[in-house]
Amino acid sequence: MLLDVSRALRNPGEVFPFEHHERIAPQDISGEQVTFDEPVLLEGRFSMSGNDLTLEGVLTATAHSRCCNCLGPAQVSLKVPFREVFTRMDRGWENPEDDPDRWVFSGSKVELEHLALTLALLELPIRILCKPDCEGYKQMAPQYAVSQKNNPFSVLQDLLKNDQNDQEV
Ligand SMILES: [Zn+2]
């Protein structure tokens, strides 16, 4: 979604606070679906200097996925500080030597969806757990297998577990 920075364009050097609501579409990460509560919040301040808009603050988001250990629902709270520079590129003005990875904007509005996605994904743990000491693996261990033998879901869970192990290799 777009953040209106026209105030900063009119007043270079002046710092303006902002609070921006963003959304992050569901992501497929190593075969696991990760969804984000709405809104993803970006708050902080921005200022303009020359063609550069500096945006700094904190991204707050809640991600949902499946616990690596027990396959139950897992939630991750993210708070990601950021400081990024967006360069104003007016329509028709292109520099082929420009770094394609740099953040740019045109006009008086800045698209922040891609920034929010990048910040959130970099902060997500590689192994998402429902709680830090989830004992899902222990429950899957052979010594517990007897009690699960008559549980039709245990077969399904084993399949899912194997599937997941394959993907981690
Ligand atoms: Zn778990």
Going from the Cα of 151 to the center of ligand 1, the distance in angstroms, rounded, reads 19
Say how far apart CA 78 and CA 98 lie, in whole Å: 32
Say how far apart CA 107 and CA 96 lie, in whole Å: 20
Going from the Cα of 101 to the center of ligand 1, the distance in angstroms, rounded, reads 36
Report the pLDDT value the prediction gives residue 153, as an integer from 0 to 100.
57
Q: Does residue 113 contact residue 22 with C-beta atoms inside 8 Å? A: yes
pTM score, whole prediction: 0.75
Report the pLDDT value the prediction gives residue 147, as an integer from 0 to 100.
47
Q: How far is CA 140 from CA 24, 70, 134, 166, in A?
A: 34, 8, 12, 17
- Per domain, the residue ranges of the chain are 2-134, 135-169
Report the pLDDT value the prediction gives residue 161, as an integer from 0 to 100.
60
Sign of CA dihedral 35, 37, 38, 40: negative
Report the pLDDT value the prediction gives residue 165, as an integer from 0 to 100.
55
Report the pLDDT value the prediction gives residue 95, as an integer from 0 to 100.
60
Per-residue pLDDT of the chain (169 residues; tens, 9 = 90+): 899 999 999 999 999 999 999 999 999 988 899 999 999 999 999 999 999 999 999 999 999 999 989 999 999 999 999 999 999 987 656 665 566 678 999 999 999 999 999 999 999 998 899 998 898 765 555 554 444 445 555 556 666 665 555 555 4
Tokens at 106, concatenated: 């045109």
Going from the Cα of 148 to the center of ligand 1, the distance in angstroms, rounded, reads 17
Going from the Cα of 74 to the center of ligand 1, the distance in angstroms, rounded, reads 7
Say how far apart CA 100 and CA 145 lie, in whole Å: 53
